[in-house]
Structure 1
């Protein structure tokens, strides 16, 4: 239901005011307000005069308004596409004859209103795209109850892989991204009103969806095809184009409140939208406030424990426990109430007692849109948006691994708290006394687009100047300074009151670290990042001429853009703070100049078109690239469209990819040297520590990186039978081949080091064979191929007895996802698998993902019912020294909504998400909460209600 295009049902439900004058003028007004493409013979429309009329559109459909407008004329209409209507003289022939009769397609035919679809700058009448596009229009946005864009996109069939959102806790940063086709978020381009926006402040790799308020959105178009020839970098997997409301008239007030059935994740939203204007000037603004409550891991059965043995998984509890793991010369001991006792695996610590499973967050936004007619067909416009986002997640108290963390953390034999009389190098301690780590994230974003647009000799042109700025801040508190801890673990000759040092007790029971010790070692990590983008763009499109088959449409433009980042983080004299991440620093800028052109050439009237596009991009840091696209559209029958396309694409290395330094993190990785067969592996000097799951990893940028490149192919068929105008079906094959993938894969380095004895300079081990550090800098080393098929079905029926009924089904099948980590390494098919991104995996890549739904509206009532489906997955992990695989079951949820509208403008709705309270499937290899939060929802049954007023 979410993906049912609002076919011929996008009019204001309060009706449309048609001005007095010619019929052509009335049709222009009707088409604009209903967002429908209309075509009419110019002489017919100009010769008929009508009075001012209020056209009724009680259900949002244009059909009653057209009947009312044309009832006293000799004209009728027929639907010629999902969002197109042809006005023509009444005839006795059938609808199909009327559509195909060349006498109705005269040279003086004019497009009353038209728009381009995402993926092209051309204005097509019938909106026959050469690539599949999912459209989420205002009626669908209203009935779902979704309050954020990431919520809307999460369950789209084409979305899979490693997107981020507030569902991602450990490893999240308060941002939300979208990942089409399972490719990284940096391979999906996000636009606002068809224009590029600034990337997030935390490294600038992808746009943050949390900085776009849903209350200001008119519709979302998702192009599921490469589009570098049209938009430039990043559009390898596809494009998400978010169209904002710009011509809203009246007042709209909306409130929302929801809560999980278990009493948490209480969420509220309030928005006010107002718009007014006259023939020359229009102003609109929207204010919104959104607040989402959190969920703690311990409050759901699935996520409460990291010990997954009862579910057939492994024990992921931490060896850094409050009682301590203390490796002496001849044994390993831990604290008990009766003193020290031998340590056993049952002493591992369940860190989920403290962690967030859903991050509490809030955001406030202001959006302004102004249009003013300067003279004739020239308008000036300005769009201003500012968004403030805040989130706060909890992580378990800081763990200390003295042998593997930064610095010399050996506990001296003469440390005043050391009762063993020997140096101790390996102590693993969870410092509960510090309290849970708290991660605060805040982002402030400002966007300004302004310029001029108009018509000149049937050509539409637009000149836009834009400046975007986003600043992101992160604070991770209750960490440990490794330098202070190093001193505090030494003897009196180094650490005493006289040396301005406080001795630290890591060998006592929980609670033995007093306030003075905590004050001495406590620290916090701060990250401050800013991304900037300024641009000037000129685009023109219109008819280039004619041939015997019809109008030749063309578009061309130029763009000059400057991108810059400034990213810094605190550390401890080059070391990452214990329990945190040293994000390092990156500073850089570049200038980009681009020129692009498109053409649509009819080869046979109303049957065959050749479309082409090319974009030349010149980057000041790595050089230039040119990317073409060719597409063919063929209508063997009026109701059948066959489409095929080929394009090349590229993703420029981000400024962080090229400039980052000093990034350290304790990554969740697996060392093959911990297996029982370690002595037989070339890179292992013995069996490594089996209790470890985190390894200190250093990442870094590379100024010599080149763009990632791709080849995109698609082939599809669309069926819209003319005598069954409410039905639409499509089937599209896609194939994406990507080379020179920028990767840092530390897991690949470890695997190659253990299994083949290479990368010894990057995977550093001590004399016992344990990894002390992994050094992973970015390289152009990877390759991918993703192949699959998309299928959609839509049907709508409208009658006086039943009202409006709309059904839809949208599905995506990933046939294969071939991934090659580096040249010479084997290709692995990841389709249908899950590998957690915490260990360098691509996330969930289901072979099938689909949704289907039914929408009904009659009079003042409307309702919706939606099913989301994710097919089963396969995961691999190590259990009892053996590599095993298991099935992650398929998952489906059911959402329902019911709404009632009062004639005075009030509307109330209630809804239930996950009606059957279906828990997400368990994943043994998932680090966060035993499931993949990027694909599934932990919330359970969730109730919400909305109340709105429109006038």
Structure 2
């Protein structure tokens, strides 16, 4: 996958570029789209200059040749300002001085008429006060990526607990992005600069799977806080997905790929049609995507949960098909079919990986419609509509039963017809293979409509947008066990009377002893359905506020009114979670938000010093109001050097789930210090607890009194573009994010405090033996974080007739600190360079270094790319033989290769290989899913793919 970022590749159609009659602005937009080149121009001057219909020649796909033809005889000229980017300027002599102020580079590629992510201002300065990565359409084509989550996964600034279909147990078919290792709810996802509805299961974050990559023109990643510009959630940064617009013609594209081992077959097909008219434009894009499964058993790394040979622990389950049966005298038995009852040993643990899917099969169908109509008087009506349906199917091992620790009274009565021991049996752990594997099906249906008006008044631009977004999600998990039915079936004839339809269940027999009648009586399935809605009305205006001795003062202002609602429910068994699943509980809530915002850019010295500021005031109906400012300074001491610095405050509003959820229960993967042999010395322990347990029943809850998480963001950057080395640029940006009042529910923190300090006895419930029976984890504003580090980017482009266009890029991110404090008074931990699995309440993989570098080549009909992704080593800690050990997770790199050829008649053929050297992900002893972190690495191995495209 090629992630050179920032810029595009010139590749005009060899047949030429047809431009209908119209103004220069529209002609430049069409030329830029057709030739995959970025153009910067002042909208007002370009819109007032009209051109006749033209057909531009483009021999060998050369963009500049076509641009020269377009501007010939006009009062405009152009200047190359960066890799695959030009600025169109007026020809008067006085403009010559202005062009000197333009640096011979661009860090942010700005398409005509578009503002950059992180600002509503539209100005000619190409210098942003914050680092932005841009992945443009030609780069999207050469990567081979078919989803946005796949595209963003290896970006250096992305780390932590994003979700995707590479996460099976614990996944829900959605995909999110996590900048700087902060939770996904701290990264704001926009479409065309506008907020979108969050996922249907509570709105924690936007689901990237509901945005088809085939409709995307480019992705801009702002690596800085932006609450002053966009409001809530933009603490770690912003991912702005710009959809294709102004496309004209017909485009067909088909992709097929599969792992070298013959699985994970993936295909996608999309068709895009667009037409320009005298007064407007219309575009329609249809897409289908299908990803095949990869099973845990089909890779050596993930085939077994017993990691002792690799230096880890045995994570196989004590709930085995033959059973774990604890009797009153302390004897633990198992029932092997041939041997009858015998002593249970650790060798009887069950390896559930035989059933589990490592990469979840999924499908998506989407439709995207875009159009605009010129109403005259400098006013344009526009509409953007999108509908997408997604589905995913996760396979998990058959349901385990833990009679002592699951919900309900699951004690096996002494007079149960299948109890041969003549005593109550409290603790039985059994894997009910007879039910078959658990199948989790996730489906979503998302609709988005943005419509409005935009135009110009004098030299000011304005836009009024009304948005209506809706997502409906459902999740079904079958082959579970109803705890109420199982409770009855484990009792004697007085309670489980066959005459009333009760069927006694045999949990004490060997595997296969539970017959069809028993299964029918205890079988259950959970269903969760949720909807999230958002409607908004936004007005934005921007333009020159005036001028001073140093230049124009630019300003933007606006207001937004938004309503958000959620409603989701599950069919829990009388408020209890089905055994083998989780109880999602329910939540219902809505809020109304009113916001006002403003921005200003003031030049302090001509072409060398600017002061930028922004402020946003937000009023929420459920918790109150907040105001967040941002100040930035840009200084150019020389034409080739720029220094930028910024300070901002930010906030993340508690989600409606955070405030309103009730009844959510899950078996969490946690560690109880009371299982240690020295448990008698710990204040909160009542002797040594059961060492065989790795899961604990946890109930999470919302809190209507939550307040927003707050942050302070600081950045300092240096941009170097030496004039003597044309095509080269380097940037270095330091960042520091300090976050307070973090909303957390950490059950591991509660257990630790309970064991070591005898605290939270009302939240961590233990029985007389000291074993945890239940944990209550209510959301609270208790945490604090500080993340600091720096980003480094180097780029070079060389063009010559002999070798064509050659581009090289290095993009790296270093995490210096990730200081985390779980609660006031608790110790502060530095998590940078560590891995703590999300299943244990951790922040995931937080590598100190993450980088990619690559080379891209294009000449005539040929183009190719070679990319290397790198993740530095990590550390993980766990208990092994009652000792706390720390081990290294090895560094990892992946090499990707692509080659494409433009055939005659508009055809393009490409082949690619991801993970060329077939490197396995590094082993992680504490990773619950498949012995590695699926959020950071890829299990597929060497992966081949091919694409065939037709453009007319």
**So what's the TM-score if we normalise by structure 1?**
0.96
Q: Structure 1 pair 596/8, CA: closer, same or farther in 2 (3 Å)? A: farther
User: Matched residue of 2:773: which SS?
Assistant: strand
Consecutive unaligned residues in structure 2, runs of 5 or more? 103-109
Distance 1:925 1:391, change over 3 A: same
Residues 586 and 661 in structure 2, CA contact (< 8 A), matched pair in contact too = yes
Distance 1:175 1:576 in 2: 22
Q: Would you say the 8 A contact 2:364–2:388 is kept in 1?
A: yes
The match for 1:850 is 851
Q: Distance in 2 between matches of 1:586 and 1:733?
A: 40
1:306 aligns with 2:305: yes
Q: Give 1:578's aligned residue.
A: 579
Mapped contact 2:8–2:137 kept (Cα < 8 A): no
How far the C-alpha of 1:530 sits from its partner, in A, is 0.3
Whole-Å separation in 1 of the counterparts to 2:101 and 2:812:
36
Q: Which whole-Å CA distance do the structure 2 matches of 1:947 and 1:761 have between them?
A: 62
- 8 Å CA contact 1:169, 1:357 repeated in 2: yes
**Superposition TM-score, scaled by structure 2 size:** 0.96
Contact 2:29–2:246 at 8 Å: present in 1 too?
no
Matches within 5 A, 1:484-633: 484-633=485-634
Q: Structure 1 residue 53: deviation in Å?
A: 3.8
Conserved in 2, the CA contact under 8 Å of 1:234 and 1:650? yes
Aligned-partner Cα distance in 2 for 1:740–1:112: 39
Structure 2 counterpart of 1:738: 739
Closer, same or farther: CA 74–882 of 1 in aligned 2, 3 Å:
same
* 1:724 CA displacement: 3.3
State the Cα distance separating 1:9 from its structure 2 match: 3.6
Query: Which secondary structure state, in structure 1, belongs to the residue aligned with residue 142 of structure 2?
Result: helix
1:76 and 1:410 mapped to 2: Cα distance? 84
CA distance in 1 between counterparts of 2:824 and 2:649 reads 21
1:222 to 2:221 alignment? yes
State the 1:281 CA deviation.
1.6
Which residue in the other structure is 2:128 paired with? 129
Cα distance in 2, alignment partners of residues 840 and 41 from structure 1? 50
Q: How does 1:202-281 map to 2 (within 5 A)?
A: 202-281=201-280
Once the two structures are overlaid, the 10-residue window that deviates more, 410-419 or 781-790, is 410-419
* Structure 1 counterpart SS, 2:585: strand
Q: What SS is found at the alignment partner of 2:819? A: strand
C-alpha deviation, 1:16, in angstroms: 3.5
CA-to-partner distance for each residue in 1:673-703, whole Å, 9 max, x for gaps? 0011111110011000000000000100000
- In structure 2, the CA distance between the partners of 1:470 and 1:116, relative to structure 1 (3 Å rule), is same
- Give the structure 1 partner of residue 475 of structure 2: 474
Partner Cα distance (1:43, 1:184) in 2: 44
* 2:705 matched residue in structure 1: 704
Q: Report the Cα distance in structure 1 between the residues aligned to 2:168 and 2:816, rounded to whole angstroms.
A: 31
Determine if the alignment matches structure 1 residue 786 to structure 2 residue 773: no
Structure 1 residues 926, 26: closer, same or farther in 2, change over 3 A?
closer
Structure 2 distance, partners of 1:731, 1:61, is 32
Task: Classify the secondary structure of the residue corresponding to 1:943.
Answer: strand
| 8 Å CA contact retained: 2:270, 2:288 | yes
Counterpart Cα distance in 1 of 2:345 and 2:549? 84
CA–CA separation in structure 1 for the residues paired with 2:422 and 2:9: 83
Corresponding residue of 1:186? 185
Q: 3-state DSSP class of the match of 2:752? A: helix
1:721 CA drift (Å) = 2.6
Task: Note if contact 2:217-2:244 (Cα within 8 Å) is conserved in structure 1.
Answer: yes
CA shift at 1:657, angstroms?
A: 0.2
| SS across alignment from 1:584 | coil
Residue number in structure 1 paired with 2:317: 318
Q: Secondary structure at the match of 2:900?
A: strand
For 1:42 and 1:656, the matched residues in 2 are separated by: 45
SS of 2:7 mapped into structure 1: coil
2:416 corresponds to: 415
- Quickly say closer, same or farther: Cα 1:775–1:14, change in 2 above 3 A: farther
Contact 2:410 2:487 in 1 (8 A): yes
User: Closer, same or farther in 2 for the Cα pair 1:21/1:187, shift >3 Å?
Assistant: closer
The Cα of 1:252 is off from its aligned counterpart by 0.2
CA contact (8 A) 1:476 1:526 kept: yes
Task: Find the aligned partners of 1:31 and 1:921 in 2 and give their Cα distance.
Answer: 43
Question: 1:815-849 CA deviation, whole Å, 9 max, x = no partner?
Answer: 00000000010100000000000000000000000
1:870, CA displacement in angstroms? 0.3
The 1:21–1:842 alpha-carbon spacing in structure 2 relative to 1, beyond 3 Å, is closer
Shift of 1:30: 4.8
What is the Cα deviation at residue 521 of structure 1? 0.2
Shift of 1:376: 2.6
Question: What is the match of residue 161 of structure 1?
Answer: 160
- 2:33·2:247 contact (CA, 8 Å) conserved in 1? no
Equivalent residue, structure 2, for 1:332: 332
Structure-1 separation of matches of 2:45 and 2:747: 69
* Aligned counterpart, 1:2: 3
The equivalent residue for 2:668 is 667
Q: Per the alignment, in what secondary structure is the counterpart of residue 438 of structure 1?
A: strand
Pair 1:371 & 2:372 matched: yes
**2:286 matched residue in structure 1:** 287
SS in 1 for 2:375: strand
Instruction: Encode CA deviations 1:146-171: one digit per residue, 9 max, x unaligned.
Output: 10000000000000000000000000
State the alpha-carbon separation in 1 of the partners of residues 42 and 563 from structure 2. Answer: 44
- Report the count of equivalent residues: 940
Distance across 2 between alignment mates of 1:794 and 1:306: 43
How far residue 68 of structure 1 moved from its aligned partner, in angstroms, is 3.4
- Corresponding residue for 1:430? 431
Distance 1:201 1:74, change over 3 A: closer
Q: Aligned ranges for residues 686-725 of structure 1 at < 5 Å?
A: 686-725=687-726
Q: Which residue of structure 1 lines up, in the alignment, with residue 105 of structure 2?
A: none
Of 224-233 and 638-647, the range deviating more from structure 2: 638-647
Residue 341 of structure 1: aligned partner: 342
- Name the CA shift for 1:59/1:471 in 2 (closer, same or farther; >3 Å): farther
Structure 1 residues 273 and 30 mapped into 2: Cα distance closer, same or farther (>3 Å)?
A: closer
Q: By how many angstroms is 1:928 displaced?
A: 0.4
Partners of 1:859 and 1:29 lie apart in 2 by 21
Aligned with residue 85 of structure 1, among 83, 87, 91 = 87
Contact residue 162 and residue 184 of structure 1 kept, 8 A? yes
Q: Match of 1:107?
A: none
Whether the aligned pair in 2 keeps the contact of 1:215 and 1:288 (CA below 8 Å) is yes
d(CA) in 2 for partners of 1:36 and 1:893? 30
CA displacement at 1:90 relative to structure 2 = 10
Does residue 760 (structure 1) correspond to residue 784 (structure 2)? The answer is no
Q: Measure how far apart 1:922 and its partner are.
A: 0.3
CA 31–508 in structure 1, closer or farther in 2 if over 3 Å, else same: closer
**1:80 CA displacement:** 3.7
Asked if 2 retains the 8 angstrom alpha-carbon contact of 1:4 and 1:807, the reply is no
Q: Distance in 1 between matches of 2:578 and 2:772?
A: 19
Which residue in 1 is equivalent to 2:99? 99
Which stretch of structure 1 is more off in the superposition, 508-517 or 35-44? 35-44
Deviations 1:58-80 (A, max 9, x none): 66664222333456789754224
Query: RMSD across aligned C-alpha pairs, in angstroms?
Result: 2.3
Alpha-carbon distance in structure 2 between the residues aligned to 1:882 and 1:21: 75
Counterpart in the other structure of 2:107? none
Once the two structures are TM-superposed, the CA of residue 340 in structure 1 deviates from its matched residue by 0.6
Measured in 1, the distance between the counterparts of 2:436 and 2:641 equals: 64
Once the two structures are superposed, the pairs formed by residues 57-96 of structure 1 within 5 Å of their partners are 57=58, 62-69=63-70, 77-81=78-82, 83-87=85-89
Sort the Cα spacing of 1:839 and 1:456 in 2 relative to 1 into closer, same or farther, 3 A.
same
Q: Per the alignment, do residues 911 and 37 of structure 1 end up closer, same or farther by CA in structure 2, a change over 3 Å counting?
A: closer
Deviations 1:98-138 (A, max 9, x none): 83379xxxxxxxx9944210000000213311100000000
Asked if structure 2 preserves the Cα contact closer than 8 Å seen for 1:37 and 1:126, the reply is no
Equivalent residue number for residue 816 of structure 1: 817
Paired position in structure 2 for 1:800: 801
CA separation in 1, counterparts of 2:569 and 2:417? 38
Cα distance, 1:498 vs. partner? 1.8
Per-residue deviation, 1:794: 1.2
Question: 2:31 & 2:297 partners in 1: Cα distance?
Answer: 55
CA distance in 1, matches of 2:694, 2:131: 43
Question: How far apart in 1 are the matches of 2:869 and 2:494?
Answer: 65
Instruction: Give the Cα separation in 1 of the matches to 2:828 and 2:234.
Output: 24
Distance in 2 of aligned mates of 1:927 and 1:42:
57
For 1:398 and 1:837, locate their aligned partners in 2 and report how far apart those are by CA, in whole Å. 22
Q: Which runs of 5+ in 1 are unaligned?
A: 103-110
